[in-house]
Amino acid sequence: MDMIKGIKGVKDILPEETPQWRFIEDAARRWALCYGYQEIRIPIFELTALFARSIGAGTDIVEKEMYTFPDRDGTSLSLRPEGTAGTVRAFIEHNRAADPLPQKYFYIGPMFRHERPQAGRLRQFHQFGVEFFGTSDPRADIEVIALLWRLLSDLALSNLTLEINSLGSSGDRAAYKPILLAFLRHQESRLCANCRRRMDRNPLRVLDCKVLDCRAATELAPKLTDHLSPDARAHFDQVLTGLVAIGIPYRLNPRLVRGLDYYCLTSFEITSTHLGAQNAVGAGGRYDGLVKTLGGPSVPAVGFAVGLERVSLMLPEASLSSLNECLYYVAAFGEEGIKLGFVLLDELRGVGISAQCDYRATTLKGHLRQADRSKCRYAILLGDDEAARGSVILRNLESKAQEELPLVGLTSILKTRSFSS
Partner RNA sequence: GUGGGUGUAGCUCAGCUGGUUAGAGCGCCGGAUUGUGGAUCCGGAGGUCGCGGGUUCGAAACCCGUCACUCACCCCA
Q: Contact positions toward RNA, by CB under 7 A?
A: 5-6, 8-9, 59-61, 65, 82, 113, 115-122, 125, 127, 194, 198, 205, 208-211, 258-260, 269, 276-283, 305-307, 309-310, 334, 360, 363-366, 368-369, 371-373, 381, 383-386, 393, 395, 397-398, 400, 402
Residue-wise burial string across 244-263, b where 16 or more C-beta atoms lie within 10 A, e elsewhere: eeeebebeebbbbbbebbbb
CB of 338 to RNA, least distance (A): 12
Q: How far is CA 420 from the centre of its chain?
A: 36
CB of 121 to RNA, least distance (A): 4
CB of 119 to RNA, least distance (A): 3
CB of 401 to RNA, least distance (A): 9
Closest listed residue to residue 225, CA positions, set 249, 246, 207, 209: 207
Q: How many CA atoms lie within 13 A of 66 on its CB side?
A: 28
Contacts 24+ apart (CB under 8 A), 15-19: 15/324, 17/312, 19/320, 19/321, 19/323, 19/324
CB of 231 to RNA, least distance (A): 25
How many Cβ atoms sit within 10 Å of the Cβ of residue 282?
Answer: 26
Are the CB atoms for 392 and 405 separated by under 8 Å?
Answer: yes
CA distances 286 to 61, 106, 131, 269, 307, Å, are: 19, 15, 9, 12, 18
First to last CA, the chain: 53
Are the CB atoms for 143 and 104 separated by under 8 Å?
Answer: no
Are the CB atoms for 163 and 251 separated by under 8 Å?
Answer: yes
CB of 78 to RNA, least distance (A): 15
CB of 115 to RNA, least distance (A): 6
Measured from the CB atom, is 143 or 386 closer to RNA? 386
Measured from the CB atom, is 348 or 364 closer to RNA? 364
Contacting residues for 40 by C-beta, under 8 A, at least 6 apart: 87, 90, 105, 106, 107
Measured from the CB atom, is 235 or 310 closer to RNA? 310
Measured from the CB atom, is 353 or 393 closer to RNA? 393
Q: How far is CA 177 from the centre of its chain?
A: 34
CB of 53 to RNA, least distance (A): 16
CB of 64 to RNA, least distance (A): 8
Q: What is the spatial distance between Cα 320 and Cα 318, in angstroms, rounded to a whole number? A: 6
Closest listed residue to residue 125, CA positions, set 70, 65, 77, 56: 65
Q: How far is CA 118 from the centre of its chain?
A: 18
Q: What is the spatial distance between Cα 67 and Cα 59, in angstroms, rounded to a whole number? A: 15
CB of 87 to RNA, least distance (A): 14
Q: What is the spatial distance between Cα 280 and Cα 95, in angstroms, rounded to a whole number? A: 34
Measured from the CB atom, is 92 or 122 closer to RNA? 122
Are the CB atoms for 112 and 79 separated by under 8 Å?
Answer: yes
Measured from the CB atom, is 48 or 391 closer to RNA? 391
Measured from the CB atom, is 104 or 395 closer to RNA? 395
CA angle 118/123/126 to nearest 5° reads: 100
